[in-house]
Amino acid sequence: MADNNVIWSDRKRTLFGLPLSFTKYTLTEDRLFIQTGLFTTVEDEVRLYRIMDVKLTRTFGQKIFGVGTIKVSSADKSMGDFEITSIKKSKEVKEKLSELVEKNRDEKRVSSRELMGEDEQELDLDDAQ
C-alpha cells in the first residue's frame, strides 16, 4: 500500500468470529484494499469515489459472534460489486466507509445519475430541434 494513513484494517472472520483467514481489508482516506491468498497473494483496490452504495447484512450466526458483512456496489471495472465479509464492528465500519465515500465524491465532484421514476423518458435532442 502506498498510503500509510490507515483508518481501519481487519481480517475476514471465520468460525466463532476468529480471524483465521487469508483475506485482509484495509481502508485509507481514498482507497479500500482487499488482499487475499497465502501462496499467491492478490491485492485489489477500489477508489472510494467509485463506490455507489453500501449495505450491511448480519445473519443470526454473525450476530452471535459480533461480525457482519458489508455489500458494496461499485463502478470499478475490475472489482465490480463485492463484499467485505465477516468483519468486527461492521456497523461502525459501514458508517465510516459511507462517510469517506461521500467526502471523496464531493472532493472529486463526482455525482451519480439515478433514475427517479420508471416512466421518465429521455429527451431526444434531434426531435427537439
Query: Could you tell me how many helices (H) and strands (E) the chain has, helices first?
Result: 3, 7
- Give residue 42's domain range: 6-107
pTM here?
A: 0.80
Place 63 in a pLDDT band, splitting at 50, 70 and 90: very high
- For the domain that residue 48 is a member of, what is the CATH number? 2.30.29.30
In a domain, 120, yes or no: no
Q: 3-state DSSP call for residue 83?
A: strand
| Alpha helix positions (H), the chain | 60-65, 90-108, 125-128
| pLDDT tens track for 4-57 | 699 999 999 988 888 889 999 999 999 999 999 999 999 999 999 999 999 999
Number of domains the chain is built from? 1
In a domain, 10, yes or no: yes
Does residue 36 contact residue 23 with C-beta atoms inside 8 Å? yes
Place 93 in a pLDDT band, splitting at 50, 70 and 90: very high
Q: Is the pLDDT of residue 80 over 70?
A: yes
Place of cell 468483519: 87
